[in-house]
Each structure stands twice: as C-alpha cells, then as structure tokens.
Structure 1
C-alpha cells in the first residue's frame, strides 16, 4: 500500500491547486483557492475530472452536486475533510 495521504484542509487545498494548475496549464500561484471554479476557468468537464481524481486519491465517494454546493477549492477541501473524519 502507498504512503498515507494527508487529509487536513491545507494539504487537500495544496493538492487540488496543483492538480487544477496542471489541468489549466497555469502556475499553481495563479490558482486562487477561494475563487469560484468558473472564475478559474474550470468548466464542468474539468470539475468532473477533479472529482474523479479526488475520489481516487482520498478513497471517498462525492456526489457531483458537492462541487456546485462548494464552488471553490477551499470549500471542496473543507467538505472533503469533514467527510474523511
């Protein structure tokens, strides 16, 4: 089994920022964790991709609606952290 994945909010935020920066082909510093996904240029296809990766990385099922209810990286990280506790 691989190394444990950190599930604190800052670690989740950092991973999501890096993942989206890679998808959007921008510097990680340009991905504001408190900006709405649409402002970051995250369309529904990218949001689903993030959702799938988060589910695989953290071994948790998340309803797609959760991204609409938590439309920022920080909100998703907080939501995920609560689900993992």
Structure 2
C-alpha cells in the first residue's frame, strides 16, 4: 500500500480533475462539500479509490471521513489491518 501522503496526492489530483481546478487548490483538510463535491462526485471518487487501491470503501465512510486526509488515513489503517 502506498504511503498516506501518496494517497492524499492521488485523491487531490482526482478531485481537481473532477472539479476542473488545479490540484494545488484542493485542501486535503476541507470537507468534501466545501470542496464542491456533491453526492454523485463523491460516489465517483469512491469508485475510483476502490479501483486504484483495491479496497472496498463503504459509502458511509465518506460521511464518517469527510476529507481527503481522513479517507487516506482510513485506507492506510484498513490495509494495515488486512495485511497484518
């Protein structure tokens, strides 16, 4: 599994693409709704994360972890538990 920082950067790039803005404008600490992600875009992110990292990420996790940093931390913790 890539480092948490790598996951954050991947998510920032993906969200920037979705919103058609530079990745540098995507604050990984900002809530998804503040970034401008509606539920359809959030589901798109969820699907891409699952494809990119091979981890099933339940939709409710986006609500419980509503920032890029939180999602990256969740993915990192979840993979370590699976590997361990």
Count the aligned residue pairs: 80
> How far is 1:84 from its partner?
1.1
Runs (4+) off by over 4 Å: none
Distance in 1 (alpha carbons) for counterparts of 2:55 and 2:32: 21
Distance in 1 (alpha carbons) for counterparts of 2:2 and 2:73: 10
Which residue, 16, 19, 23 being the options, matches 1:21?
A: 16
Distance in 2 (alpha carbons) for counterparts of 1:75 and 1:41: 17
SS at the partner of 1:53?
Answer: helix
In structure 2, stretches of 5+ residues that fail to align are: none
Aligned equivalent of 1:40: 35
More helix by share: 2
> How far is 1:69 from its partner?
0.1
Aligned equivalent of 2:2: 7
Distance in 1 (alpha carbons) for counterparts of 2:13 and 2:30: 15
Does the CA contact (< 8 Å) of 1:51 and 1:62 recur in 2? Answer: yes
> How far is 1:7 from its partner?
1.9
